[in-house]
Every structure is written in structure tokens, then in C-alpha cells.
Amino acid sequence: MAEASKNIRQLGLIIATAFVLPLSACAGGGAAYQPIVDGPQNAKFQQDLQQCQALAEQRGYDNSDVRTGAAVGAAAGGLGGVLRRGNDTRNGLIGAAVGSVYGASGAALATRTERKNIVKRCMIGRGHRVLG
């Protein structure tokens, strides 16, 4: 029983680390996007850009999509690890950790793209000719 408790604590630490690392790598990503525009980049442009970037930051990385990606990845990885090595708990834990990182990373990258798109749409909505 002590071994199972130790494995559960290890899994918690691994998953927590696996969840935080991809998110910290994306910190500020997407919302800090500087679009390429056809037109002047005057004071009005800079003001609009700052406001649009602040709007994009409201879509945080700690969202349900990232949490779901981590959970689904952990479940699939854990099951795969156990099945591959004949019901070995340790391999299940490793599989869960790897799956969690993979699932959370994919969702975090999607969030980063979403934040860039928020900046683009916001700038277009304010009358700027955004090219990319």
C-alpha cells in the first residue's frame, strides 16, 4: 500500500510539472502579437494595439481546453503505459505524465493561435488593414 501511495504522489508531481511547463513556455504568447499592417503605425495604431493585446490576454492559458487536453492525454497515456508493460503501475504513471504534457501542450498552442487571432480581428475591427 505504501508503494501505491508513493506512486500516486509521484504522479501528482509529474502531472503538475507537466501542466505548468507548457503553459509557462507560452506565457505572453499570442497576446503580444504585432500584426503586419498596411498603413501608418502612429499613436492611434499603438493605442489600439495595446488595447487589442490586453483584450487577447483575457483568453488565459489556464482554460478548460488546456485542462481537458491534459486530462485526456493523461488517461490515454496512463492506459497505454499499463497495457504496454503488463499492468505495471510505474509505466502507467510515466505514460500518464507524457500524455498530460502532450495533451496540455497541444491545447496551449491552440490557445496561443487563438490569442493572435483576437489581436488581428480586434485591429481589423478598429479600421487597421492587417495583412498578417
Q: Is residue 130 part of a domain?
A: no
Of the candidate ranges 33-37, 53-57, 74-78, the one whose mean pLDDT is the lowest: 74-78
Domain boundaries, position 63: 2-125
Decide: helix, strand or coil at residue 77: helix
Average pLDDT over residues 14-33: 62
Q: Is residue 50 part of a domain?
A: yes
- Distance, in Å, from the CA atom of 63 to the CA atom of 78, rounded to the nearest integer, reads 22
Q: Is residue 94 part of a domain?
A: yes
- Better pLDDT: 129 or 94: 129
Direct distance between the N- and C-terminal alpha carbons of the chain, in angstroms, rounded to an integer: 57
Q: Is residue 20 part of a domain?
A: yes
Q: Is residue 131 part of a domain?
A: no
pLDDT at 91: 73
Q: Is residue 120 part of a domain?
A: yes
- Domain count of the fold of the chain: 1
Decide: helix, strand or coil at residue 20: helix
Q: Taking the C-alpha atoms of 62, 67, 70 and 75 in order, what is their torsion angle to the nearest 10 degrees?
A: 160
